[in-house]
Amino acid sequence: RAPEKLSTRPWAQHPNLDIVKGDVLDRASLQKALCQCRAAYYLVHSMNPDVSDFAATDRQAAQNMAEAAAAEHLEQIIYLGGLGDEEGQLSHHLQSRTEVGTILRQGSVPVTTLRAAMIIGSGSASFEIIRDLVEKLPFMITPRWLKTKCQPIAIRNVIQFLIGVIGKTETYNKSYDIGGPDILTYKEMLLG
């Protein structure tokens, strides 16, 4: 999100790395960022409280990505979506993530979809919310969603999956559910 933050990373000076800022809501900047790339990771989910209709923002961003990837002749888009029973009742956020996957797949570039529930690790919005609840609230009235079951996965395992599918033609236009070994309720995660 901020190229200047990356400049302090040890790998930021690698001679084969170009850090380019792109905005999924600005197709021209996105196309510039994708120039000379073979594949792209799509890890975008709108959760901005300042946006009244995050699903519309997600749709526009996904459409821009599909079009820019096609214009730059990418070979693959790897999309990290949400894990949920598409036949059941999905939250608005999971519905939007499912819709984003559909929009990306309607483009001409093959898409590999990895579907994950909560990602455990720094930088994961869901994880950060749970961690803040545990660290900052001495007690809380428990909402119903604490009974919802989840199959969390460690961020290092997500990264392994993301790396594992890039350039693998046998994964093109396929979807994979990824998760850790445990199925827990949110309450069990809070107490753990």
pLDDT in tens, 138-188: 666 666 766 778 888 999 999 999 999 999 999 999 999 998 888 877 677
Segment 120-145, tens digit of pLDDT: 877 666 666 666 666 676 666 666 76
Which residues, in sequence order, are CB contacts of 158 under 8 Å at separation 6+? 80, 114, 116, 119, 178
pLDDT tier at 58 (50, 70, 90 boundaries)? very high
| Cα–Cα distance measured from residue 78 to residue 39, given in angstroms and rounded to the nearest whole number | 8
pLDDT of residue 89: 75
